[in-house]
Amino acid sequence: MVYILNIETATKNCSVSVGANGTTIAFKELSEEQFNHAEKLHVFIKDVLNQASLDLSQLHAVAVSKGPGSYTGLRIGVSAAKGLCYALDIPLIAVDTLAVLAAQISVANGLIIPMIDARRMEVFTQQFNEHNKAITPAEALIIDETAFADKSGNIHLVGDGALKCKTVLTSDTFVFHEDVVYPSAKQMSPLSYEKFQQNDFVDVAYFEPYYLKDFMLTTKKITN
């Protein structure tokens, strides 16, 4: 049995799971506006290992959601994953965040388009077919009435970025899955196990999250 710890912190959702041969056997998450990932993550890791009746020494790999997403959230998740891999001498697996979000729904036909809020009317997004396979690269896209106008058939939208676009994307072709808001470690288990079987690992020393956009530091203007 291959046990993989999955860590997802790319959004407001702090989410951790344990997968056994690709099936999630333990899971815990919490979504908060305050981004308390630094406080919650290691507690959640301990909790899911207890749920699965496992010790850290029994893990075969650690998988982390690599982005795009929140700069701070990604740094916290990747740092924790790296630390565990170093200490346990096990491989690190990087899973695409948008693939994790897309995997939360299953459709018979049409496109699956996960969207992560990137502020204002911009989203991190990517297109997947009905088999949950990526058919376009991830991109930062500003949404307007013309978005995806060249696509036919049902377009299934998931994520917090999709929810804010409901007033703009009004065509009947758009299907909003409002119950799917954030990527979750629960869906990471089959994705990380597939990468484990393929020996698709990343370098623990040099791996960095995929931010997609440069980090912008803003400061408040001080007035006298």
Q: List the single range of 91-95, 142-146, 218-222 with lowest mean pLDDT.
A: 218-222
What class has domain 105-176?
alpha beta
**Domains 3-97+183-197 and 105-176 alike in fold:** yes
Burial profile 28-62: b = 16 or more Cβ within 10 angstroms, e = fewer: bbeeeeebebeebbeebbeebbeebebeeeebbbb
Pairing of strands 13-20, 23-31: antiparallel
What is the model's pLDDT at position 218?
41
What is the model's pLDDT at position 214?
59
Q: Is the pLDDT of residue 90 over 90?
A: yes
What class has domain 3-97+183-197?
alpha beta
Q: Where are the domains of the chain?
A: 3-97+183-197, 105-176
CB atoms within 10 A of CB 64: 31
